[in-house]
Each structure stands twice: as C-alpha cells, then as structure tokens.
Amino acid sequence: MTHLGQEEIWDVEAATSYDTPGEGMFAPEVLGPTVDRLATLAGGGRALELAIGTGRVAIPLAERGVPVVGIELSAPMVARLREKVDEATLPVHLGDMTTTRADGDFTLVYLVFNTISNLLTQQLQVECFRNAARHLGPGGGFVIELWVPELRRLPPGLPATVGIVEEGYILLDTYDTLRQHVVSHHFRFDASGGREARLGRSPHRYIWPAELDLMAQLAGFELESRDADWVGTPFTADSPSHVSVYRLP
C-alpha cells in the first residue's frame, strides 16, 4: 500500500465511515482530555490543526473559544466537516501538511492520533515539522500525539503483530523494518456472525521518540514535555504512545 497517495486512502468511503460519535476516539473520555490540554496550550491564541479530518478535535476546541484553522489533504474529509460547521466558524485550507500555508501566526500547531506517521518518508516528516515552525511565532508550541513502535512484540522471524482483538474487530500490523513501514490491517466483522469480513488498510512510517526529537531540532524546536497521554501520565519504557510538546525558543 505504500505506493498509494494519501488522497487515495482517505477517500469518500473512508470519510463516510470515519466518525464514530460517542465511541472509540470520539468517546468523551478520549476527546475531553485532548481538548482540555490543547485549550491550555493554546494560551488564548490561535491554533492550527494539521490533518484536521472531519473535525473530531477542532470542532470541540473551537467551541471552547479557541480560534482554530485547519489544513487537510482529503476533500471528502473536509466535506464531512462542512456538514457540521461552516467556513466562517472553522476555516480549512485544502492541501498537504508539509507545504500548505495558512494565513497569519499561531500560538499552537497540533497533530493528533498518530497522523504524522501517514507521511511515509523521513524527509516528509521533517518537512512537517518545518511547516509547523513556519506558522508559529517565538515561543509557539507544536504538539504531536504518536504511538511507540511495537517491534518488541514482533515474534522472532515473523513480520506481523496482532494489536487488537475484540468482538467484531481485529487489528493486524505488518512490518517492513528496513524502511520503518507498517501497514495496519483492520478486519471488521458484521454483527450477524457471518464468515465474511470487511478489510481496511492504512500504511504508516513509524518513528521512535528519539528520532522525533531530532526532527524537531532540525526545525528549530526544543522538547518541552513528553507524557504518556493527554492527562499527563508519566511516559515510561512501557508506554504504548506519547503526547510530546515542542516549543520554539
């Protein structure tokens, strides 16, 4: 799948099935702490969300009084967002998060839910940091939510891990450790208990925390904090993900 463009992956079908109101990543216990932390980090200024998607985070953040602008590559995802809020309420620039420029300066740029890993080369990921820096004034912050690569869970000699097994859903990740690529295979089974499943796949380039910090340095950022989640749980060697805050001097 790594040869596909992101606009091919985040198509109308993906946009239509993306929102799960009240459940999964839309659950209040997931979304609430995310919005709380971002509102605090914005510090009364403007916030820019890279890969804004259907507005999962941006809409409730704007409702908290934070002026939010978005950048999004997928026109179908923006169309879904527009069913919820208009352009005046939440402006969105259609384009790539490595190069697209939004007008004005911001106190906060953020990139949530592992989305930087959708960029499939190290160079593109570095350019994402540089684009974030272009939008920030002195002291501005860049927040990234990202999973920690799970290579310790890889069986010896096998290229795959089973990430989630629950009723109606299985997540299987296959790894190319030479290129730091992983393809997530999402198997969803219908509620009737039938034999057939629907498969969705998404390619990623995984990033170690130390590598992410070096990308930040190349763009002029310094690491301010790293927690295991949005509520500030300490990050440890066993944490499956992290929320990292970088800041310009």
The answer to whether 193 touches 211, Cβ cutoff 8 Å, is no
- Provide the token pair at 241: 């993900």
pTM score over 0.85? yes
Q: Do the Cβ atoms of 106 and 74 come closer than 8 Å? A: no
Q: Which two tokens stand for residue 20?
A: 């799960």
Residue type, 208: W
Instruction: Specify whether the CB–CB gap between 191 and 168 falls below 8 A.
Output: yes
**Is 90 exceeded by the pLDDT of residue 79?**
yes
Contact 20, 53 (CB under 8 A): no
Which of 247, 173, 237 lies closest to 209 in space, CA to CA?
237
Q: In this structure, are strands 160-166 and 169-176 parallel, antiparallel, or unpaired? A: antiparallel
Residue linked to tokens 């295991």: 228
pLDDT, tens digit (0-9, with 9 covering 90-100), for 201-243? 899 999 999 999 999 999 999 999 999 999 999 999 999 999 9
The arrangement of secondary structure in 6-149+207-247, i.e. its CATH architecture, is 3-Layer(aba) Sandwich (3.40)
Q: Which residue ranges make up each domain of the chain? A: 6-149+207-247, 151-203
Q: Give per-residue pLDDT as tens, 136-168.
A: 999 999 999 999 998 988 888 889 989 889 888
